[in-house]
Chains A and B, each alone.
Chain A
């Protein structure tokens, strides 16, 4: 096991984490920025070899490179002792223990996946998921793609896919046209967001966008996706395709914060005006405190970075911008609320827990997440409930349980604090 020490440890190298790390370093603190991905940028700033980074990403990544922050990519946090100021990571299959005086959690968000018949077929991927894979080098030129689900991420994904030569067959957004129109009008008050939307719309031009539609089922022979059936509640349409990029919005990655004991609020980490969580010495910033987009993450990250460096005045300078972008976050939530009809796509045979192949029919008899876990092993598999937990919460209203170590699966040897002998 190897050890490191720093003043400020930032977990998560997306916009919030990068901002927090840079600001803390600006103030002269020793900073370590860790992320389980092999490169920095998180999801939204994930590097794409085929195109240049957005101006904001380029600017911040350059700032990070010049900041003196020690970067630890490929490091997955799996355990923490907040009282002792210690976090444990699995890095290249060995244990790395980091001692810090302040901890900033910028663990971001993941997509919400809702089950429907056929969603486990190879070829059914998240919208952000397919975006990540394409940026990671998956060639999609010429492949027929349907994008579905909910949220601005759909357009972003569609734009990227189009740029990479995919044959875009349509974007199906579950929220109503009215909600979408209202949201679009509100973008006037967020110039940066409006510009981004225009850019996305241009990238996705020619792509058929329908609102008020969602996935009813997916299917194919030869154990791969061949078609998707979409519905608006009355009509149904069948689209033959190679890939379905489907995600129903984002959910904060709160597991590490929950493990540490941070108080939650509305499914996200609760923070005060300086981004402090309920646990002493632990701050949180970005999507993990509530979904709100990259600009909000940057402001929150800046506040957290300065606060972690004990510079409250510098932190305060970002309060106004943060408040503005919080307005955007609220608009986002209102516009893309998930409709109840999405539940009707699920049949008794539909798998809800992918890791353990537990179907909706098997879950009917349970009244709580814990009971379902023990009675059916739903949520007891490798994903530790990260996929099925939020789905079950939407479908059945079950609250999640406590988070146990390891926060992410690790080698048994790593759990024991060992180094990889190889």
Chain B
């Protein structure tokens, strides 16, 4: 089994660890802005376990998916910077 998988982050192909959670993988890629607050401020994961909703990103076209609860998968399409 391969150690990494390829995901598409905001249009760019990136390699991430195969068994990582999406939130961990995005942080590992250096992403610090997962979503925007009501006032437009950048937000990133806080609780790491699905409660705070700060790690939400758009996955495969579906908005408001908690990246800390989403395993990485080959071909996953991720868009960040959404509300």
Residues of A within 8 A of B (CB): 36-38, 43, 49, 74, 76, 93, 110-111, 113, 120, 122-126, 128-134, 136-139, 223-224, 253, 354-357, 381-383, 386-387, 408-409
Contact = CB atoms under 8 A, between A and B. Distances in A.
Interface in B39-79: 39, 41-54, 56, 62, 64, 68-72
A166 B46 CA distance: 18
Classify the interface of chain B: helix, strand, loop or mixed: loop
Contacts of B39: 357
B68 A136 contact: yes
B62 A354 contact: no
B38 interface: yes
Interface residues of B, number: 38
A133 B46 contact: no
A133 B43 contact: no
Nearest to B26: A138
Contacts of B16: 137
Contact of A133 (B37, B48, B53): B48
Contacts of A355: 38, 53
Q: Which 8 A-B pairs have the closest CB atoms?
A: A137-B20, A129-B48, A122-B44, A132-B48, A136-B21, A136-B24, A138-B24, A137-B24
26 contacts: A37-B50, A38-B21, A74-B69, A110-B49, A110-B51, A113-B46, A113-B52, A120-B37, A120-B43, A122-B33, A125-B44, A125-B45, A125-B46, A126-B47, A130-B48, A133-B23, A136-B21, A137-B19, A137-B24, A138-B23, A138-B24, A224-B32, A354-B43, A357-B39, A387-B46, A387-B51
Given A36-B69, A49-B19, A110-B49, A134 B44 contact: no
Classify the interface of chain A: helix, strand, loop or mixed: loop
Given A124-B46, A137-B17, A354 B69 contact: no
B53 A382 contact: yes
A354 B49 contact: no
Given A137-B19, A223-B32, A382-B53, A129 B69 contact: no
Given A354-B37, A357-B39, A382-B64, A133 B27 contact: yes
Nearest to A420: B62
A122 B51 contact: no
Contacts of A43: 49
A122 B48 contact: no
Contacts of A253: 51
Nearest to B49: A132
Contact of A38 (B28, B51, B69): B69
A126 B50 CA distance: 12
A133 B17 CA distance: 13
A383 B53 contact: yes
Given A129-B52, A387-B52, 16 more contacts: A38-B69, A110-B51, A122-B33, A122-B43, A125-B44, A128-B47, A128-B49, A136-B20, A136-B48, A137-B19, A138-B27, A139-B28, A354-B37, A354-B52, A354-B54, A355-B38
